Amino acid sequence: MSDHQFTKQSAGAESEPKETFVDYNALDAEARRILNLNDRGGYTVPTDGLYPYQWNWDSAFAAYGFAQFNIDRAWQELESLMAGQWASGMVPHILFHKEDARYFPGPDVWGGVGPIPSSGISQPPVAATFARRVYEMDPLAGKERMSAIYEGLRRWHQWFLKWRTDENGAICVTHPWEAGRDNTPEWDGPLKRIDPVGVGEYKRRDTSHVNPEMRPTKFDYDRYIWLVNLGRNLDWDDAKLKEANPFRVADPTMTFLLLRAHRDLQALGEALNLPTDGMDADIALLEAGARSLWNPKLQCYDAKDVMADEWAGCVSSASFLCWGAGIENERMVAHFDRVMQAVKYGVPSHDPHSDRFEPKRYWRGPSWAIVNYLIGTGMELSTDADVRARGRALAENTREAIAKFGFAEYFDPLTGEPAGGSTFTWTAAVWLGWASPTVKG
């Protein structure tokens, strides 16, 4: 079996033109235009309308995109994100800088308790990973600015370790939105156990921007809002919420990405002569946590419902974030090949062989350029040359999807059809930093 069968498949599809001229310089220019278009002055929105605020991991990707042509603006993005940090160390998943009626739930529903109106949960902590990338692109320009946000990033990571670990050191999410993978089938079991009493009537805005078939269902949304209400009613007090919140899932996204980010932060601390005490022990704990997410029955990294002590039983794109965290397992290569042979564009968010796979519904099947990036760059770090080759092939596959179908929020992995929002910040960033053939190494 070929290592790169998935790229061969996509290149050889009968119904598509064999070779078409692609103007990569024009695509680079379009990606830069999108970043500037979504710039609201110091922070970037994911896309206008659907997401009109600053989102945490979108913003870290935006910084990386800006760094390709404006390093000062890249640092500004990270600084504006860290400006929303709570006293507890938590960095919120949304910062509501300026109210916008086109989004629900807004600042009043969330009632965040930080220096800037915000949501009350966090999001995958990729900021330190991108801060390292931005810093290494120009250490001289970045020295002071990196040093200024270093302690904040360390406190944020500590907050995860204090409030979000399970007994093994894996990181848990306490709301489906915290993992960034809102409606992935991993949450189906724990969400079913929630009875969303008192949620009442509310008006969703997402489905007026995007085809509802591409968005989470009402069943999911009722529970998302119920969990927001619970947090707000407890003033987002971490200790009280740990007692009261029935949703607590040990998650490969958070665990692998925090492990990656903590390694990156430690490398930055060493480069800048800043305190790194305790970080080796944190990393050892997170490594143990990451390994504990191995579901022996599935033979794959999986999410685990901590409250019910139940595996989700899902091979998802988050399972493949292992390489970036420095966790290798041969069985994951076999899963990767099996999954990629069933699709044409990108890593599907859910196993295409599963009966819960829906190719256009948000995190239940579509592929995401940012996840391709996180998986692909992780694979490129592998000690195994065959795994590294798969990482490179994934960059080329992502290039093909964006070149053919545009800077979409996500893609149907079977056809490449663009889905969700358009002119998307993080897709443009992934293009500029990784997928474009003009990227310099």
Which residues of this chain interact with ligand DGY, rule CB under 6 A? 93, 177, 182, 206
Q: Which two tokens stand for residue 144?
A: 């002071």
Give the shortest CB-140-to-ligand DGY separation in angstroms: 36
| 225 vs 312 by CB, closer to ligand DGY | 225
| 80 vs 184 by CB, closer to ligand DGY | 184
Q: Which two tokens stand for residue 77?
A: 């993005």
Residue type, 398: T
Beta bridge partners of 94: 55
Give the shortest CB-174-to-ligand DGY separation in angstroms: 14
Beta bridge partners of 312: none
User: Which residues, including other chains, have CB under 8 Å from residue 114's CB and lie 6 or more apart?
Assistant: 84, 85, 86, 87, 90, 92
| 53 vs 357 by CB, closer to ligand DGY | 53
CA-based R_g, the chain, Å? 20
| 335-341: long-range pairs with CB below 8 Å, 24+ | 335/299, 335/300, 336/390, 337/1, 337/3, 337/5, 337/6, 339/315, 340/5, 340/6, 341/5, 341/6, 341/9
The whole-angstrom separation of Cα 20 and Cα 241 is 55
DSSP at 171: B
| 268 vs 374 by CB, closer to ligand DGY | 374
Report CA-CA distances (Å) from 388 to 3, 5, 289: 10, 15, 24
Angle of the 56-67 helix axis to the 71-82 helix axis, nearest 10: 160
Phi-psi region of 366 (alpha: psi -120 to 50; beta: other; left: phi over 0): beta
Residue for token digits 């235009």? 33
Give the shortest CB-238-to-ligand DGY separation in angstroms: 20
The whole-angstrom separation of Cα 243 and Cα 392 is 44
Angle of the 56-67 helix axis to the 24-37 helix axis, nearest 10: 130
Give the shortest CB-220-to-ligand DGY separation in angstroms: 10
The pairing of beta strand 294-295 with beta strand 300-301: antiparallel
Q: What angle do CA 391, 393, 398 make, to 5 degrees?
A: 95
| 93 vs 248 by CB, closer to ligand DGY | 93
| 6 vs 221 by CB, closer to ligand DGY | 221
Residue type, 31: A
Q: What angle do CA 399, 321, 239 make, to 5 degrees?
A: 130
Give the shortest CB-363-to-ligand DGY separation in angstroms: 9
| 177 vs 294 by CB, closer to ligand DGY | 177
Whether residue 105 is preceded by a cis peptide bond, meaning omega within 30 degrees of 0, is yes
Cβ-closest position to ligand DGY: 177
Give the shortest CB-212-to-ligand DGY separation in angstroms: 12
Q: List, by residue number, the catalytic residues.
A: 182, 409
Give the shortest CB-44-to-ligand DGY separation in angstroms: 15
